[in-house]
Amino acid sequence: MLSQLVTDLKKVEKKDLDNEILRLGMIAELDAVSFYEQMAAMTENKDIKAVLSDIAKEEKTHMGEFQALLLKLDKEQGPELKKGEKEVAELTE
C-alpha cells in the first residue's frame, strides 16, 4: 500500500465512512507489519533486525486498536469474526 489509499473515501456513504476509515487503517497497519518483517528477514545486522521486529510488533498493536474500534462501531463485524474463528477451529481440529 505504501501511503496510497485503496478506496476513494469520497465515494463512501457518510454512514459507512468511519468504518471504512478504520478498515483502511487496518490495511495500512498490516501492510506495515509485512514490510517491517520482510526487511527484518533480509538484513543480517542484528540491531536493525531487532528494531524492525519491534516496530512490526508495535504495528500489530495498532492493528488491534483499529479492530477494537471497528468491533465497537460495526455491530455486524463481531459476529462475523466469531463465525470465522469457528470455521477455522472446525477445519483445523
pLDDT category, 2, cuts 50, 70, 90? low
* Percent of the chain residues past pLDDT 90, beyond the cut: 85
Q: pLDDT, tens digit, for every residue of 17-59?
A: 999 999 999 999 999 999 999 999 999 999 999 999 999 999 9
Average pLDDT along the chain? 93
Rounded Cα gap, residues 93 and 4, in angstroms: 39
pLDDT category, 13, cuts 50, 70, 90? confident
Cell of 81: 469474526
Q: Are 53 and 86 in contact, with CB atoms under 8 Å apart? A: no
Write down the pLDDT at residue 70.
97
Indicate the burial class of 15 (C-beta count within 10 angstroms; 0-12, 13-18, 19 or more). Answer: exposed
